[in-house]
């Protein structure tokens, strides 16, 4: 009994040590920068948490609670308390390092610690993994969610009951952290269900696992809707969101053409601005002189109410044109990743109200001084992804011959994620290198897994039989 307890403690100690060291390695961009990386939305996520918490726990309601994910804002609140964002980076790193540990262990249970770092060190240095972890945004929670889904469906038997509960909890928070995470997770559920139907021989366990993931997605949706209903008095998944689709379809062109042809004989709130339509979604939504920022609350509400009608009418009028433009946007997003993230005037303006007393520390950071080598590391990531795709292509026949359900499952989840992320971001939002950088590092991860599988098979000897998975 004592030997068993000592073994458990030793395993726990090795796992904890590996995860902690892996988490520390991931934070190198923040450490090198001298401060966590910030995006304009970062300040909103940090700022909204206390306002939402006061409404939930003190019944002190404000008129406006923000347009970002309330669940992510609440989740990071105990880690910053309006004092410092550093613990948020630590949270990101620990969750990511732990999920990656479980993924590696599910594929190569022997010498897990060694192979974990063989994968992690190149990922951290040659891809945007560390940059996404170091960014005060829910971006990293997307990949954490998708890898968690892999674990729950394809590697369920490698998790203890406690580990499975932890993974489910992480997946729930990650799914609720951003609307795009929910969309991709729902898409993965559909994909996995179709794969199970096609296979025909799928076990009840696999169907149960997919059902569990679907329940996580439904719970994340339900808590978002319930929270918005409590805070705003009406159920909603997005809350007080801007008119993203209106901005997108106008910037694409067909929306602009439709308004220019039909605003003379129809009543749409957006027609009041037909002579001032911008050429990009950012100009419509966020520019100080843009339509959304200048519009009154009443006009904004009308634009949102009429958004579906306007978008559908545009699609009926210009179906081919919009399809062609949307595909172009999708392809451009799929092939565009960028780690660049310079200083922002709005971030500096809001610092004292969001993180009092920390503005001087941020001003000393490389990001604020525009001396981060982000362009160099973007190029490094691009070449790493290209090399990874070549490696995946070369090793795919081997993986197929020595079929490992877990590796195939991981590949299905990762490829779907990378493609679907580009579709959701490029078609429904805008083409932005940051969107694809948050998931593109999963391809080098998959290439590394393929290489480990190949090495594992070679070292096992020609007459040996691989373990059944």
Whether the per-residue pLDDT at 376 is higher than 50: the answer is: yes
CA distance 298 to 300: 5
pLDDT for residue 231: 85
pLDDT for residue 159: 94
pLDDT for residue 299: 87
- Model confidence at 4, pLDDT cuts 50, 70, 90, reads very low
pLDDT for residue 465: 42
For 164-209, what is each residue's pLDDT tens digit? 999 999 999 999 999 999 999 999 999 988 887 776 656 677 788 8
For 164-175, what is each residue's pLDDT tens digit? 999 999 999 999
pLDDT for residue 468: 40
Which of 63-67, 356-360, 391-395, 427-431 shows the lowest per-residue confidence on average (mean pLDDT)? 63-67
- Model confidence at 77, pLDDT cuts 50, 70, 90, reads very high
Q: What are the residue ranges spanned by the domains of the chain?
A: 19-239+336-460, 244-317
Report which of 258, 297, 252 is spatially closest to residue 279, judged by C-alpha positions: 252
Mean of pLDDT values over 210-218: 93
Q: Which helix (H) or strand (E) holds 274?
A: none
Give the DSSP per-residue string, 373-425.
-HHHHHHHHHHHHHHHHHHHHHHHHHHHHT--HHHHHHHHHHHHHHHHHHHII
Residue bearing the bigger pLDDT, 181 or 293: 181
CA distance 182 to 188: 10
User: How much of the chain, in percent, has pLDDT values that exceed 90?
Assistant: 57
pLDDT for residue 11: 63
Give the DSSP per-residue string, 78-94.
HHHTTT-SHHHHHHHHH
CA distance 378 to 376: 5
Burial of 150: CB neighbours in 10 Å, binned 0-12, 13-18, 19+: buried
CA distance 427 to 326: 5
Residue bearing the bigger pLDDT, 326 or 277: 326
pTM value? 0.92
CA distance 108 to 155: 12
Mean of pLDDT values over 151-172: 94
User: How much of the chain, in percent, has pLDDT values that exceed 70?
Assistant: 94
Report which of 288, 172, 228 is spatially closest to residue 48, judged by C-alpha positions: 228
The structure tokens listed for 80 are 């910053």
Which of 127-136, 146-155, 222-231, 378-387 shows the lowest per-residue confidence on average (mean pLDDT)? 222-231
The structure tokens listed for 424 are 């959701």
pLDDT for residue 62: 77
What is the crossing angle of helices 86-107 and 442-460, to 10°? 30
Mean of pLDDT values over 34-43: 93
pLDDT for residue 116: 94
| Residue 298 half-sphere exposure toward CB, CA atoms < 13 A | 1
For 308-342, what is each residue's pLDDT tens digit? 999 999 999 999 999 999 999 999 999 999 998 88
In the 8-state DSSP scheme, what is residue 280?
Answer: S
**Contact of 103 with 410, CB cutoff 8 Å:** yes
The structure tokens listed for 119 are 């994968």
Q: Look over the chain and give the mean of its residue pLDDT values, rounded to a whole number.
A: 88
Whether the per-residue pLDDT at 367 is higher than 90: the answer is: yes
pLDDT for residue 463: 46
pLDDT for residue 330: 96
**Contact of 101 with 16, CB cutoff 8 Å:** no
pLDDT for residue 288: 77
Q: Which helix (H) or strand (E) holds 327?
A: helix 319-334
Cα 43–Cα 45–Cα 47 angle in degrees, nearest 5: 65
Report which of 464, 458, 468, 456 is spatially closest to residue 119, judged by C-alpha positions: 456
CA distance 407 to 412: 9
Report which of 406, 387, 407, 385 is spatially closest to residue 396, judged by C-alpha positions: 407
The structure tokens listed for 106 are 């599910």
In the 8-state DSSP scheme, what is residue 242?
Answer: -
CA distance 256 to 277: 7
What is the crossing angle of helices 319-334 and 433-440, to 10°? 50
Mean of pLDDT values over 107-118: 87
Burial of 230: CB neighbours in 10 Å, binned 0-12, 13-18, 19+: middle
Task: Return the exposure string of 392-402: e unless at least 16 CB atoms fall within 10 Å of the residue's CB, then b.
Answer: beebeeebeee
- Name residue, tokens 């997946």: 171
Mean of pLDDT values over 132-148: 96
The structure tokens listed for 403 are 């079929």
pLDDT for residue 312: 93
Asked whether the CA dihedral 244, 248, 250, 254 is positive or negative, the reply is: negative
Strand partners, 37: 135
pLDDT for residue 12: 64
CA distance 161 to 382: 39
Task: Return the exposure string of 10-37: e unless at least 16 CB atoms fall within 10 Å of the residue's CB, then b.
Answer: eeeeebeebbeebbebbbebbeebebbb
Listed in sequence order, the DSSP H helices in 200-277 are: 204-232, 244-252, 254-262
């Amino acid at each position: 009994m004592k030997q068993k307890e000592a073994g458990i403690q030793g395993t726990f100690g090795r796992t904890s040590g590996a995860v902690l060291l892996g988490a520390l390695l991931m934070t190198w961009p923040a450490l090198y920068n001298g401060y966590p990386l910030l995006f304009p939305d970062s300040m909103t996520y940090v700022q909204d948490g206390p306002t939402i918490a006061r409404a939930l726990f003190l019944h002190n309601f404000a008129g406006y609670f923000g347009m970002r994910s309330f669940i992510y804002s609440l989740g990071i609140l105990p880690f910053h308390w309006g004092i410092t964002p550093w613990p948020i980076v630590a949270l990101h790193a620990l969750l990511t390092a732990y999920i990656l540990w479980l993924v590696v262990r599910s594929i190569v249970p022997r010498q897990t610690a060694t192979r974990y770092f063989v994968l992690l060190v190149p990922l951290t240095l040659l891809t945007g993994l560390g940059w996404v972890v170091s960014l005060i945004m829910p971006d990293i929670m997307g990949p954490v969610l998708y890898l968690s889904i892999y674990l729950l469906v394809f590697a369920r038997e490698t998790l203890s009951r406690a580990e499975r509960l932890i993974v489910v909890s992480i997946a729930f928070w990650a799914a609720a952290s951003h609307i795009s995470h929910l969309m991709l997770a729902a898409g993965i559920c559909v994909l996995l269900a179709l794969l199970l139907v096609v296979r025909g021989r799928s076990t009840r366990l696999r169907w149960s696992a997919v059902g569990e993931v679907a329940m996580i997605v439904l719970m994340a949706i339900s808590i978002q809707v319930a929270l918005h209903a409590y805070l705003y008095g009406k159920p909603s998944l997005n809350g007080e969101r801007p008119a993203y689709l209106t901005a997108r379809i106008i910037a694409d062109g067909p929306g602009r053409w439709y308004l220019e042809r039909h605003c003379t004989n129809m009543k749409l709130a957006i027609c009041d601005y037909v002579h001032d339509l911008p050429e990009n979604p950012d100009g419509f939504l966020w520019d100080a002189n843009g339509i959304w920022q200048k519009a009154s609350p009443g006009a904004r509400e009308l634009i949102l109410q009429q958004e579906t009608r306007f978008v559908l009418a545009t699609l009926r009028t210009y179906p081919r044109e919009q399809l062609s433009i949307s595909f172009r946007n999708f392809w451009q997003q799929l092939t565009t990743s960028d780690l660049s993230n310079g200083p922002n005037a709005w971030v500096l303006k809001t610092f004292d109200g969001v993180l009092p007393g920390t503005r001087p520390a941020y001003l000393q950071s490389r990001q604020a001084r525009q001396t981060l080598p982000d362009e160099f590391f973007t190029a490094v990531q691009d070449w790493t992804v290209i090399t990874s795709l070549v490696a995946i292509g070369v090793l795919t026949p081997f993986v197929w011959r020595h079929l490992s359900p877990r590796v195939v499952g991981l590949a299905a989840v990762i490829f779907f994620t990378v493609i679907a992320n580009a579709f959701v971001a490029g078609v429904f939002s805008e083409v932005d290198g940051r969107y694809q950088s948050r998931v593109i590092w999963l391809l080098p991860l998959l290439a590394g897994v393929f290489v480990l599988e190949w090495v594992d098979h070679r070292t096992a000897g020609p007459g040996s039989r691989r373990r059944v998975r």
